[in-house]
Every structure is written in structure tokens, then in C-alpha cells.
Structure 1
């Protein structure tokens, strides 16, 4: 018969769990911000493995010696609350949003590639040309502006205001 008290009663002080959750969440958010926008795009299998491995790596420091359901629920609530708090703060204070949230970065301006943004996001000219072709554009000179969006996607504005083609969806979607 399970010991219901140890299953539901916190096994680690609540303040310690809150602090562990807070520090881990904020440090991971900072690391993701530094990694760049390009990494925010679609997830491949290696990305899924990376998420699982990072989760396993931070779990012991996150939960300490906890073993109850209450510990896990408090940690999850801490992470969700911090996520909501940062979103609310970014909404309320636009200056703070510039630090917390990613902004679109100009990859192409008036038909010229921005080498500075390419270096920052570790994108090659070939990768950008692939994205242009997916939008039905063969030459960078056809682009008035192209932005690397916060979600990792590239938005394109053609010269003359023409709409680019919709990028094809991967098979099976």
C-alpha cells in the first residue's frame, strides 16, 4: 500500500523548490536568447534529442532530492508562472521586451545580404538562397527586404510589392 503522505507532501522545502525552478528557468531562457533566433525554427530529430538531454541534465539540479508529486507540481507551476510573468512584463514595458523577446533581424535589405546578421545567426549564403527559392525567388536582387523572424522563419518582401510564393509544407503535414 502506498504511503500517501510521502506521495503528496513536499519532500523539499517549498522555497528551495521555487528558487531552483526560478534559477533554472531564467538561466535556460538566457541561454536560448544567446543561441539566436535561427534555432527557434522547426524541430528536427537532433533538436528533440537535445531538448530531452538538456531536460535530463538539469533535472537533478532542478528537483534536488525531491520525490513527491507536490514537488513536481510546484516546479512546473514555477516555470509556467515565470513564463507568463516574462510575457506580461514584455507586453507592459516595451523597453524590457527588447531584452526579453527576440526581434526580427534584417537578412536582406534592398537586394543585399546582411553579413553581420548572417554571422550572428551562423547562416550561410546557400541557406538563405534555399529559403528564397522555397518562396519562388531565384535572385537576391528581387528582394526588397527579408527578415529572420523570432520564430526562426524567414519573411520576404519582394521588390515592387509582389507576394512571394508560400513555402511548401513538408510531406505528411
Structure 2
């Protein structure tokens, strides 16, 4: 068994400033990517979604780290990512304009029993998927729906028409093949 070089484990092999810059840029890039392009599938995780997450994690790790080899390098990088996450959550909580940027508004996909085709098309939700979602909410006919929204987290919220069965419910959005 080879000897462990303890000094190599706990000293920086890459400049901490470089790690902070790399971690910041990759975190913000991935945040924007998921905020603007991957919203529809956020509420569910299929095998292909998991594969994408693993590949992105590997690619991001290589882009963020350069060639780091020490624990200290990893600690700086992980701390940078966590700090950005906490900071964005803090700013979003305290400042409404930032919250609007961080969280997309819900998108109406059914209004008063009428499909909102433009929104369904933009979010790539097929009629079959919409019907499946309604069945998951125990709704047989579109006329029973007052409003249905694609929420920022990818879930679908359905509000029933007055006098039609009971309550509103939220279910995770399933993607084809999941």
C-alpha cells in the first residue's frame, strides 16, 4: 500500500480564487440553464433525466475544478456552490424582483375547461399527457377544470370548477417514458 502524502491532501493545488471563479461561473450557468430550459421536467425524474444530471455533474465538475487533487480545493469549490445557492435563496426571499427572476410564474394550461393550446405547445405538453394528468387528479372531463397550471417546480396544479367534486390537487408532472 503506498504511503499517503498528507501535505498534498491538505494544501491547494489550484488557486482558491480560480476555484471560486470557476465554481461561480458554472453554478450560474447551470442555474440559468435549468431555470429557462429544463423547467417542464423539474417535478419528475425519469431515467433519462437522471442520466442528464449525472453527465452535467461530471462535465461541471471538470469545468469547475480544473485539475485539483486536494481536499482543500474540493472544500473551496463545494463552499462556493453552497454559498451561491444560499445567497440566491436569501435574495429571492427578501427582494421581489429577484424572486421573479429566480422563480418563473405558473403557466395556465387549462382555463375554464378550455385547453390553452399556445401554452401547451410552448411547454411541449401533448393532449395525451394533459389527459393523463387530469386522470391523475381524478378528472374525467375537461369541463370539470376551472384552471390547471404548470407550476415553477414542474408540477401540475388543477383547480376544479365550483360544484364539481372536491378540492384542488397537485401532482408531479410525468414525462413520456417515465
TM over 0.5: yes
Say yes or no: does 1:102 pair with 2:115.
no
Structure 1 unmatched runs, 5+? 169-173
- DSSP 3-state at the match of 2:100: helix
- Closer/same/farther in 2, CA of residues 167 and 77 from structure 1, 3 Å limit: closer
Counterpart in 2 of 1:171? none
Q: Is the 8 A contact 2:157 2:169 kept in 1?
A: no
Counterpart in 1 of 2:142? 140
Give every structure 1 segment of 4 or more consecutive aligned residues whose post-TM-superposition deviation is greater than 4 Å: 164-168
Cα distance in 2 for residues equivalent to 1:90 and 1:81:
14
Q: Is the 8 A contact 2:156 2:171 kept in 1?
A: no
Root mean square deviation of aligned Cα: 1.7
Q: Is the 8 A contact 2:158 2:170 kept in 1?
A: no
Say yes or no: does 1:163 pair with 2:163.
no
Structure 2 unmatched runs, 5+? 173-178
After superposition, the C-alpha distances for 1:12-54 in whole angstroms (9 at most, x for unaligned) are: 1111000000000000010111214211012111111111111
Cα distance in 2 for residues equivalent to 1:39 and 1:156:
17
Aligned length in residues: 168
- Closer/same/farther in 2, CA of residues 65 and 36 from structure 1, 3 Å limit: closer
Counterpart in 1 of 2:40? 38
Shift of 1:167: 5.9
Shift of 1:164: 5.2
Cα distance in 1 for residues equivalent to 2:61 and 2:116:
39
Q: Is the 8 A contact 1:145 1:158 kept in 2?
A: yes
